[in-house]
Amino acid sequence: MTTTAAAQAVSSEFPKTRQFTGINRPGRVESDVLSLEIEGRIPPQVAGVLYRCGPDPAFPPRAGDDIYINGDGMVYMFVLAEGRADVRTRYVRTDKFNAERDARRALFGAYRNPYTDDPSVAGVDRTTANTSMVWHGNQLFAIKEDGLAHRLDPMTLRTLGKHDFGGRLRSKTMTAHPKIDPLTGEWVFFGYSANGELSSDIAVGSASASGRLTDEQWLLPPYQSMVHDWAVTQEHSILPVMPLTTDVERVRAGGPRWAWEPGQTTHLGILPRRGSVEDIVYFDGPAQWSFHTMNSFTEGPLVHIDLCVSEVAPLPDTLGQPFDPARVTQYLTRWTCDTSRGGGDFEQRRLLDGIHVDFPEIDQRFQTLNYRHGFLGGRDMSKPVNEEIAKGVWFNTLIHLDHLTGESERWYAGDDSNVQEPVFIPRSDDAPEGDGFLVALVNRFPDEKTDLVVLDTARLTDGPIATVHIPLHIRPTFHGLWVSAEELGQLPDLRA
């Protein structure tokens, strides 16, 4: 066997940094495990599939270290029915994954920086499809915001290809956080850097319930920024432009794609959902950062956006100074824009105090609508912090917030645990809002296994009614969704 000098230069070992050790260590295992061990009982109403997605690097990074979110997209399928639980894990076959697998080593370099790649992959699609799952028009997708959605077979997780709406979509990117309108079934989306990496264009559009692209318009924001999540109501779409900015020269020199620019203004671009992008109106506020929106709705002239907000983003600033850990704590906050004023400042009000939160979830039947119930992952700082676990993102608590009463209920998972994003499952099709179950993955330390917990929202503080033991290490995932057996038509049969 011959080995090239370049291949020899790349280590077969993952770095021993916080991004690659402890609960952050890569899993890299594609597997099927049937009839998982279950403590407690999965209720009969829980019948369907939990799909999740996360970054799991297939090969050690080209540079000595890498940021967590740059890993290859690994998809997890938990089939829950008749009290049983099976799991399948599969990588998304992106162009990047296929090229590196052929070479048996990393060829792509730093996060969102093609100037750091091996010349052999110049021009190859870099997306990892590692962030979120979407179910729309009876099709399943995995998405990362720097490329198109990848379509997967919902029964097998086989990658079927990139999704450009039958060649109709002009945007080269799709947000990992499109919104599915529960009233119309529409897929409402944006894509930033729509004309390719480092371009400033933002595409905004929608597809019908059956998956036909019905609208796509492009606009230029006040400045180019990372736009991870956004908000959609029945009447409006809201694009947040927050100062994680880019600098073409810096990126060309191999520097970071994004840096925090403290002096910049936060702009909320409010668009009519069924109108022209030329009618965008901007509301402004001080520099702030948010990854995720819980929900948003229009109430008369007011547009309310509930999101997890921190003072700064958790990345170095434009001078290369590291972020202040005390300022990246995110709090659930409501931003309100009064459209009768046609612009100006937005108002803000904290909805949940004293706990660091992210990974907001709602009863998806209330997406885009005035709603009452929200769910979150949280880090309760009054509980002990286990430094072995607290590498990178770490949550120890699940939260249920009732916006009507302002009351919240919590379940603390223990100081040996990292709680991933909760996903809500309604108790039945006509159950009241928020009445049902939460499912979440929990990384356990020190045995480095993962549990899937099922909680009843009617008695969240009691803790899990079922704990499914998964004999795999699952590197913390980002987002997932529940698709019921009814929506799927049939359940995946992992015996086949």
Cβ 130 to ligand V55, closest distance in Å? Answer: 5
Among the listed residues 96, 105, 136, 144, the single contact to ligand V55 using CB under 6 A: 144
Nearer to ligand V55, 224 or 298 (CB): 224
Among the listed residues 478, 480, 481, 492, the single contact to ligand V55 using CB under 6 A: 478
Cβ 192 to ligand V55, closest distance in Å? Answer: 11
Nearer to ligand V55, 257 or 273 (CB): 257
Nearer to ligand V55, 36 or 142 (CB): 142
d(CA 432, CA 393): 32
Nearer to ligand V55, 291 or 346 (CB): 291
Query: Strand order of the sheet with strand 48-55?
Result: 31-33, 84-91, 73-81, 48-55, 479-484
Nearer to ligand V55, 128 or 397 (CB): 128
Nearer to ligand V55, 117 or 186 (CB): 117
417 part of the interface to ligand V55, by CB under 6 A: no
Cβ 23 to ligand V55, closest distance in Å? Answer: 16
55 part of the interface to ligand V55, by CB under 6 A: yes
Q: Within a 10 A sphere around the Cβ of 28, how many other Cβ atoms?
A: 17
d(CA 163, CA 327): 38
105 part of the interface to ligand V55, by CB under 6 A: no
180 part of the interface to ligand V55, by CB under 6 A: no
131 part of the interface to ligand V55, by CB under 6 A: yes
Cβ 24 to ligand V55, closest distance in Å? Answer: 13
d(CA 99, CA 121): 8
d(CA 382, CA 405): 23
DSSP per-residue string spanning 167-228: TT---S---S--EE-TTT--EEEEEESTTSTT---EEEEEE-TTS-EEEEEEE--SS-B---
Nearer to ligand V55, 131 or 364 (CB): 131
Cβ 144 to ligand V55, closest distance in Å? Answer: 6
Nearer to ligand V55, 100 or 145 (CB): 145
Nearer to ligand V55, 89 or 130 (CB): 130
- Report which residue type is found at 276: S
145 part of the interface to ligand V55, by CB under 6 A: yes
d(CA 471, CA 444): 11
Cβ 408 to ligand V55, closest distance in Å? Answer: 23
Q: Within a 10 A sphere around the Cβ of 108, how many other Cβ atoms?
A: 25
Cβ 169 to ligand V55, closest distance in Å? Answer: 19
130 part of the interface to ligand V55, by CB under 6 A: yes
257 part of the interface to ligand V55, by CB under 6 A: no
Among the listed residues 62, 105, 228, 267, the single contact to ligand V55 using CB under 6 A: 228
Cβ 16 to ligand V55, closest distance in Å? Answer: 22
In degrees, to the nearest 5, what angle opens at C-alpha 477 toward C-alphas 26 and 177? Answer: 135
Cβ 228 to ligand V55, closest distance in Å? Answer: 4
Type and span of the H or E element at 358: strand 356-362
443 part of the interface to ligand V55, by CB under 6 A: no
126 part of the interface to ligand V55, by CB under 6 A: no
Cβ 422 to ligand V55, closest distance in Å? Answer: 15
At residue 299, φ and ψ (nearest 5 deg) are: -130, 100
Binding mask 337-376 for ligand V55 (x = CB under 6 A): ----------------------------------------
Q: What is the dihedral of CA 6, 7, 12, 18, to 10 degrees?
A: 40
CA dist 245 → 40, 144, 262, 375 (Å): 48, 18, 10, 30
d(CA 199, CA 220): 10
Cβ 478 to ligand V55, closest distance in Å? Answer: 5
142 part of the interface to ligand V55, by CB under 6 A: no
172 part of the interface to ligand V55, by CB under 6 A: no
Nearer to ligand V55, 172 or 273 (CB): 172
Nearer to ligand V55, 130 or 457 (CB): 130
Coil vs helix vs strand at 341: helix
Cβ 392 to ligand V55, closest distance in Å? Answer: 12
Cβ 26 to ligand V55, closest distance in Å? Answer: 15
Nearer to ligand V55, 146 or 363 (CB): 146
d(CA 158, CA 38): 27
d(CA 417, CA 463): 13
d(CA 253, CA 107): 18
DSSP per-residue string spanning 66-128: --GGGSPEEEEEEEEETTEEEEEEEE---HHHHHHHHHTS----STT-GGGS-GGGTTS----
Q: Within a 10 A sphere around the Cβ of 24, how many other Cβ atoms?
A: 21
Residues that contact ligand V55, how many (by CB under 6 A): 9
Footprint on residues 284-303 left by ligand V55 (CB under 6 A):
291
Binding mask 60-89 for ligand V55 (x = CB under 6 A): ---------x--------------------
Coil vs helix vs strand at 459: helix
Coil vs helix vs strand at 248: helix
Residue ranges in contact with ligand V55 by CB under 6 A:
55, 69, 130-131, 144-145, 228, 291, 478
